Structure 1
C-alpha cells in the first residue's frame, strides 16, 4: 500500500522517468507526438496502480475508449464525422489498450483528429450554403436533441440533412426571439415595423456570425494539440469513473485567467461541454444562487450587461464567454438559460464578490403552535485549511446550536438541501454534537482495508432533542455521511427527495511532474484520482443509491437524470461488514410520525402539482425540438407557464411564524452593511414561505409529542 502523502511523489517519478527515457528522440516533428505517448503511458500506469477499482486494459476497455472519444468527446453531436470515417478508424478499436501500455505507437488519436479536421471544412461549406437562403417554418419536422445512442451519418446526404435541421433550428430560435421582441415592442420601436421576412433574414445573419466564430475555432489554433490530447486522456479517465479526470497544464496567461475566473462574478462555476457553456455548480450566497433560478446543468446561451443587446455564446470558448459574463462589481448582467427540458429563461442579477458570510451556517426559530423548532441551515461543510483561525463550519455549527438552545428549542431541523459536501473532519465533528460517541462512517481503500471514522475527538454532545434532516437530490458526499449517520443511529428522521445524490467516493488531485517556476503548476498537468470509498456504519455504501428519505416530499427535479447513478461508469453500490454502534436512546415512534406526514403530503394540492411538474419535466427532458414555428412557440409558452406556476407552488400563502434569534437581530435589522442586511432579510422572507420547511417542522412537532425513552 502506498501512502496518500507519497502519491504526488510517485506521479513525478513515473511521468518524469518516462519522459526522460525518451529524451534522445530529438526535436523533430514527431517529438510532440512522442511526448504525448509517454504522458499517455504514465497516466495509464498511475490509474492502474492507484485507482480504487481500476479497469483492466483489454479489448473491452479499448473499445469503450474508442466509442467514448469519437462519440462523446471529439464529435458529441455525431454531426461531423461520417460512418465511413469510423469504419476507417475501426482498425484501432481493439488496440488502444496496447497504446496505453506503450506496446505500440500512438496512432488512433492523431488519425481521428485528422479525419475530424477534414470533415469540419465540409460542414462549414454546408452551413454557408444553408444560410444563404431563407428558411420557412411551416413543415412539421423535428430535430432530435439527444444523439447519445444515434449512429454517425451513413453518408454525405444523411449528414447534410442533419446539418439542415440543426441550422434551421438555430435560425428558428433567433427568429422567435425577434418575433417576441416585436410582439412586446411599443408602437414607435423600429422592430414593430419589421416584416416576418426581415426578421428571418436578421435571424440568419445572427446564426451566420455565430457559426463563423464556431468554425474559426478549428482554423486558428483553438483545436491545438494540448487541448485535444487532454480531451483524449479524459475519454480514458472517464472509463474509470465519473470523478477521475486529467487536467492539462496551461501557459501562464491561461492559468491566471482560469484561476481568477473559476468562480466568476455571478457566483457560478462553468465549463465548456459539447460546444456549450454549462453551469457545473452554483456558489452558495452568490448572485446566481440568490435568484433561485440558476442550477447545475443549465446552459448559458446568451449574455449582456445592463440594457445592451444580448450576445449569443454559441461557438465561444470558455475563456471568452467568461470575459463577457464578468464585469464591474454592482453592474447588471443578464443571462439566458436553456434548461434540460428545453425551456429558455432570462435571469438578471448584479455582479458582486462572493461573501463568505452569506454561505455560512445560520439559524432561526420556527414557532409551531406551542413548540419552538430550531432551523439550522448548512449550505456546505466549509473549512479554511490554510488558516487555523479561519472559517470552520464545525465551529460555526457549535455556536448556532448553543444560540438556539439558549432560547429553549424543543426540536431541530438541519437543512442539507443542495449541500455538495466538503470537509470530512468537520462533518465528523458536527455528528458528534448530536450523538454521544461511536463511528460515523467507514472508509475502504483499494487493498480492501477499512477504517471506522469516529465522531470528532474535540466534539461533545450538544443537542439531544428531536431532529430532522432535510435533503434533496443535490445533497452529496459529506452531507450524505451526515444524513446516513443520523438515520443509522435512529437519531432523527430524513426528509426530502427520494434519495441524495449518491457520491460515496474519495478523490485526490495528484500533480504530474515538477512545479513549473513560471506558472506554479505541475509541468505535465494533474490527475484527479478516485482512491477510496465511503460506507455507512450499517455496512452499506452511499455510492449510486445515496441516502433514501424516511419521508419523501415531491420535488420538481426528482425525475431528472442528474444523480451519480445516472453518470456513465459510476462505481457500483456494495456493502461491507457493519461497524459496532448503539442506537439512540429515545424512541420517536417513527412509524406514526411517517404515517401522519404521508397523509398530510397526499392531501396537499401543492405537493400534488409539484409532482406533476416533475413528471412533465422528466417527460420533456430529451424532447425533440420542433422546427415548426407555431409548435415551437406553443411549447415555449406552455413550459414557461408550467415553470412559473411551480415557482409559486413551493411558496406558502400564509407564511410560517419564524423568529430571528435575539443575538442575531443586529445582523438582520441593524447591520451597518446594508447589502448584508438586505440579504439576511430576503433569506428570512423566503424561508417563511418554504413549503418544504413547513412540512418538516410539522414532522418535528410530531416527533416532540411522540418522544419516549427506550425501554
Structure 2
C-alpha cells in the first residue's frame, strides 16, 4: 500500500471540490429510515460518490459491475460452499444484474436478503459438525475431499450438505489423529516402557479436539454482526472497482494507522488464545510499558482485566480481540491485569498504557562476512511512517539512512537492502530512501486521472553511499518496494536479485467519509447509535475509504502495475509457478501501460549485469538447496491444479511424506550451514543486550540469516561485483 506525504501530496483540490458539490446535491432531499439502515445507506452513498468522483479510473456502474459484486459477496461469505444451498443461490440469482440499479437508488435489498440467508444458514450449520463429530471415523476407505471451493457446486439438499460437513470434519480429524499418532510413536521410541494408545482412543481425542476448535469458530461466526457483514458487502463493491480500494470501518482504520506507523498505545504484551479458551501472554515487547513494569511474564494466563480501580472483568472464554480491546486505552491510563503465573500464583498487575514500538517492523542491519569481504545487510519489512507520532514518529527513510551510516562506519565493502515480502507503505519515504543511494534525481512518476504527471525527486545533494548495492525482492515485494527496485534498476545503481515482484503500481489515499456527510444526516445516525448502544458508547464515525487515486510509473516510463519488476538475477522460488499470487490473480486489477520517460542520468559505475547473472546462474544450478526449491515449486503447482486430498490414512500419510521429505532435506542442508558469517554491528550491541529476551531474539535472527540461501547467493553476487571491479582497476593501473 502507498500513502502520500502528509501535507505534501493530497487528493487534488478539484476532486475535493467536486465531491463537496456532489454530496451537497445528493443529501439535499433529506433522509428516510433510521438506525443501522440509515447509517448503512449513508456509507454506501458516500463510498459510491467518492469512487465516482475521485477514483483514478472509475468503472461504469452496469451489469458487469453488478455481477462482480454478486460473485464477490457470495465468495467472501461462503468460499467453501458449506452454508448456502443451491436453492439459496437460485433465490438470489435475480439480483445478479440488479445490484447496479440498487446502488443508483441507494437500496440495500440484495444485501439485506443475502445477509438474512447467511445468518439463517450459519445457525442451521452448527448441528452438521456436531452431529458429524459424535460418531467415530474410519480412515481405511478410498474417499477424498476437494479443498478448492471454486471447484465445488452448492449442496442441493440437506443430505448433500450433511455429507459435505462430514467430509470436512473427517479431513480435520484425520490430520489431528495423525499428529497424535506421531506423538505416540515418538514417546514409544523415547521410552521402551511406554504403551502406545490404540486407534479408538486417539481417534476420539482427535474428534474432541476438533469439536472445541469448531465451537470457537462458530462462536466467532455468530459474533459477526450486521455491521461486519455490511462492511464485507461494501468491500465487494470497492473490490470490483480495483483490488486496493477498500472500505475501512473505524476499528480497521485504527489498525491501518498502527500498521503504517509500527507503533500503538497499549501495554506491549503479545497474546495467544489457547485451545481451552484461556488467554496466555506469548511474549513481552522489549521497551514496552509491560517490560518496564516488570511483573507480567510470558506464559502468564490473564484472568481479569480492570480499568484502573474499576470492577474487573473476567475474560475466560472471551475471544482474543475482545481482551485486546479491554487492555488497550488512552496513553497514561492504568489497566490492571489479574494473572496466573506459571508457578500457579495469582497477581494483580497495574500497568500504565504507553507507546509501544513493534521493533520487528523497523529497519535493522547486520554484517555478512563472505570470502574475505564485509557486506552490510539491511532488513526492511515495510516502508513505515508515523505521521502522527511524537516528534514526527519513526520514518523508514531516515531509519535506513541511519543504518547505512552505521554500516559505513563498519567499513563494509557493499550493501544489501532486503525488500522481500515488503508490501510497501509511505511514498515519501521511498523517495527519500532512493536519495541515499543516488543523491538528487527523479525516483518515480505519478499520474492522476486527468493524465497529469508529477515527477517525484529525491532532495539529497549527494548520495550517502555510492558503493556496490544489491536489492533483494520476491513476489511479496509490492508497491513502494517496486518503486525502489525499479528506480535503482533504471539508474543502473544496483543489481536486483530474486523473483518477479507483486505488480502493484497504484497509489491510494485514505479519505474520511464523515467529512462528506450532511450534518443533519450525521445527527440522525448519532442519535440512533446512542439509542442502540447506550450513553457510555462513543460514536466514532462511519469509517474511511482507501481510494486508488493515481498510478505510478518508473522513470523509464513503464508501469510496475500488473507486470511488477523483473530482477536482473532471477533465483528459484517455491511460489514462482502459482497463478494466485500477485496483482495478476485479480480480474479487477488495473492494466499495464507506459508513459514518456523522465529525464535522468545513468549511474557512472553500473554493475556488469550480464557477467554477474552468468556467474550466479552457474552457482545456482550446482546448489542443492535451490534444486529442492524447484522441486517444491513443481509440487505446489501440482497441488494448486489438483487440490484433492485423500481421506485414507495410508494415502494421506504418503502425501505428507512427499512434502516432509523435501522439508527434511532442506533442514539437513540448513544444518550444514553456509560459508557466510553473520554478526551484529558494534553500534547495536547496547540495544541488543538490554535483556535476555532481546538477546535470544537477536541470536535467532542471526541464525536465520546464516541459513538463508538467498542471502548467501546475494553476498556472492556482491563478491563477484567487487572482484570484477578490482580487476578493472588493476588493468587500468597496469596500462598507465
Q: TM-score under structure 1 normalisation? A: 0.78
1-side partners of 2:360 and 2:381: how far apart? Answer: 10
Question: Aligned ranges for residues 10-409 of structure 1 at < 5 Å?
Answer: 21-23=29-31, 25=32, 32-33=36-37, 35-70=39-74, 72-102=75-105, 105-185=107-187, 194-215=197-218, 222-249=223-250, 265-266=269-270, 319=321, 356-357=358-359, 359-386=361-388, 387-388=390-391, 390-409=393-412
Measure the CA separation in 1 of the matches of 2:397 and 2:128.
59
- The range that moved more, 81-90 or 439-448, is 81-90
Q: Secondary structure at the match of 2:438?
A: coil
Are 2:629 and 1:610 aligned? yes
Q: 1:649/1:231 Cα in 2 relative to 1: closer, same or farther (>3 Å)?
A: same
Distance in 1 between residues matched to 2:112 and 2:432, nearest whole Å: 51
Give the whole-Å Cα distance in 2 for the aligned partners of 1:365 and 1:120. 54
What do the CA deviations read for 1:493-548 (whole angstroms, capped 9, x no partner)?
A: 11112x12222122222222269898776522222211111111111111222111
The 8 Å contact of residues 19 and 39 in structure 1, kept in 2 or not, is answered as no
Aligned to 1:639: 659
Kindly provide the CA deviation profile for residues 613-663 of structure 1, in whole angstroms up to 9, marking residues without a partner as x.
232233234632221122223333443343243245356634424455454
Q: 1:562 to 1:264 in 2, by over 3 A?
A: farther
Residues of 1 paired with 2:220 and 2:685: CA distance?
Answer: 54
Match of 2:347 in 1: none
**Structure 1 residue matching 2:437: 3-state secondary structure:** coil
1:333-371 CA deviation, whole Å, 9 max, x = no partner?
A: xxxxxxxxxxxxxxxxxxxx9755554434444444454
Greater CA drift, 378-387 or 429-438: 378-387
- 2:673 corresponds to: 653
**1:39-80 residue CA offsets vs partner (Å, 9 max, x unmatched):** 32332222121112222110111111112212x122221222
Structure 1 residues 553 and 666, CA gap change in structure 2 (3 angstroms)? same
Distance change in 2, residues 1:165/1:261 (3 Å): farther
Task: Classify 1:123/1:494 alpha carbon distance in 2 versus 1 (closer, same or farther; 3 Å).
Answer: same
Q: Residues 15, 413 of structure 1: CA spacing in aligned structure 2 closer, same or farther, 3 A cutoff?
A: same
Deviation, structure 1 residue 16: 8.8
Query: 2:376–2:415: 8 Å Cα contact kept in structure 1?
Result: yes
Structure 1 range deviating more: 617-626 or 539-548: 617-626
1: CA distance, partners of 2:480 / 2:660: 35
1:445, 1:531 within 8 Å by CA — same for their partners in 2? yes
Aligned partner of 1:623 in structure 2 is 643
Residue 451 of structure 1: SS of its match in structure 2?
strand
> How far apart are 1:443 and its partner, in Å?
0.7
Contact 1:255–1:519 (8 Å) recurs in 2: no
Tell me, yes or no, if the aligned pair for 1:511 and 1:522 is still in contact at 8 Å.
no
**CA offset at residue 36 of structure 1?**
2.9
Instruction: Work out the CA distance in 2 between the residues paired with 1:14 and 1:411.
Output: 55
Query: Do the aligned residues in 1 keep the contact of 2:437 with 2:466 (CA within 8 Å)?
Result: yes
1:669-695 per-position Cα deviation (integer Å, ceiling 9, x unaligned): xx3444334433443343334322222
3-state SS of the aligned residue for 1:596? helix
The residue correspondences of 1:581-600 to structure 2 (distance < 5 A) are 581-600=600-619
Cα gap change, 1:522/1:240 in structure 2, threshold over 3 Å: closer, same or farther?
farther
Change (3 A) 1:605 1:209: closer
Residue 465 of structure 1 and its aligned partner are, at CA, apart by 2.2
Q: Conserved in 2, the CA contact under 8 Å of 1:8 and 1:510?
A: no
- Would the aligned equivalents of 2:23 and 2:49 in 1 still touch at CA under 8 Å? no
Aligned to 1:447: 450
Partner of 1:274 in structure 2? Answer: none
Find the counterpart in structure 2 of residue 482 from structure 1: 484
8 Å contact kept, 1:169–1:627: yes
Greater helix fraction, Structure 1 or Structure 2: 2
Structure having greater relative contact order (Cα 8 Å, sep ≥ 6): 2
Query: Counterparts of 1:443 and 1:425 in 2: how far apart (Å)?
Result: 12
Does the Cα contact within 8 Å between 1:15 and 1:39 map onto a contact in 2? Answer: no
Q: Distance in 1 between matches of 2:20 and 2:540?
A: 9
8 Å CA contact 1:468, 1:494 repeated in 2: yes
Q: Which residue of 2 aligns with 1:461?
A: 463
CA distance change for structure 1 residues 321 and 606 in 2, over 3 Å: closer, same or farther? farther
Q: CA 1:231–1:372 in 2, change beyond 3 Å: closer, same or farther?
A: closer
Structure 2 partner of 1:437: 440
Please tell me whether the aligned partners of residues 8 and 512 of structure 1 are also in contact (alpha carbons under 8 angstroms).
no
Shift of 1:224: 2.9
Matched position secondary structure for 1:533 = strand
Closer, same or farther: CA 651–691 of 1 in aligned 2, 3 Å? farther
Change (3 A) 1:133 1:433: closer
2:39–2:542: 8 Å Cα contact kept in structure 1?
Answer: no
For 2:443, what is the secondary structure of its paired residue? strand
Distance in structure 2 (CA, Å) of the matches to 1:545 and 1:101: 34
Q: What residue is the counterpart of 1:573 in the other structure?
A: 592
Alignment-derived partner of residue 620 in structure 2: 601
Instruction: Give the TM-score normalised by the residue count of structure 2.
Output: 0.76
Q: Is 2:492–2:602's contact at 8 Å kept on the other side of the alignment?
A: yes
Secondary structure at the residue paired with 1:537? coil
- Which secondary structure does the structure 1 equivalent of 2:514 belong to? coil
Q: Residues 586, 252 of structure 1: CA spacing in aligned structure 2 closer, same or farther, 3 A cutoff?
A: closer
CA distance in 1, matches of 2:144, 2:250: 41
Q: 1:51 to 1:192 in 2, by over 3 A?
A: farther
Shift of 1:573: 1.8
Equivalent residue, structure 1, for 2:333: none
Pair 263,507 (structure 1): closer, same or farther in 2 beyond 3 Å:
farther
Choose 243-252 or 634-643, whichever is displaced more: 243-252
Using the TM superposition, give the Cα deviation of residue 460 of structure 1 relative to its aligned residue in structure 2, in angstroms.
2.4
Q: In 2, Cα distance between the equivalents of 1:265 and 1:428?
A: 34
Q: In 1, are the aligned partners of 2:271 and 2:320 still within 8 Å (CA)?
A: no
Q: Which moved more, 1:363-372 or 1:540-549?
A: 363-372
> Matches of 2:659 and 2:227 in 1, distance apart?
41
Contact 1:477 1:502 in 2 (8 A): yes
> Aligned in 2, Cα 1:201/1:602: closer, same or farther, shift over 3 Å?
closer
Whole-Å separation in 2 of the counterparts to 1:87 and 1:33: 26
Look up the SS of the partner of 1:586 in the other structure: coil
1:693 aligns with 2:695: no
**In 2: Cα distance, 1:191 partner to 1:34 partner:** 65
Cα displacement (A) at 1:611:
1.8
The question of whether the paired residues in 1 share the 8 Å contact of 2:301 and 2:341 is answered with no
Displacement of 1:91: 1.8
Q: In terms of mean alpha carbon deviation, does 252-261 or 177-186 score higher?
A: 252-261
Cα deviation, residue 564, structure 1: 2.4
| CA distance in structure 2 between the aligned counterparts of 1:253 and 1:662, rounded to whole angstroms | 37
- Please give the alpha-carbon distance, in whole angstroms, between the structure 2 residues aligned to 1:181 and 1:657: 36
- Number of residue pairs matched? 643
Alpha-carbon shift at residue 230 of structure 1 (Å): 1.5
User: How far 1:92 sits from its partner (Å)?
Assistant: 1.6
Taking only aligned residues, the RMSD between alpha carbons, in angstroms, comes to: 4.4
For residues 7 and 330 of structure 1, what CA distance do their matches in structure 2 show?
55
| Contact 2:562 2:590 survives alignment (8 Å) | yes
The whole-number CA distance in structure 2 between the counterparts of 1:205 and 1:530 is 47
The alpha carbon displacement at 1:99 in A equals 0.6
Q: Secondary structure at the match of 1:91?
A: helix
Corresponding residue number in structure 2 for 1:542: 560
CA pair 665-134 structure 1, distance change in 2 beyond 3 A: closer
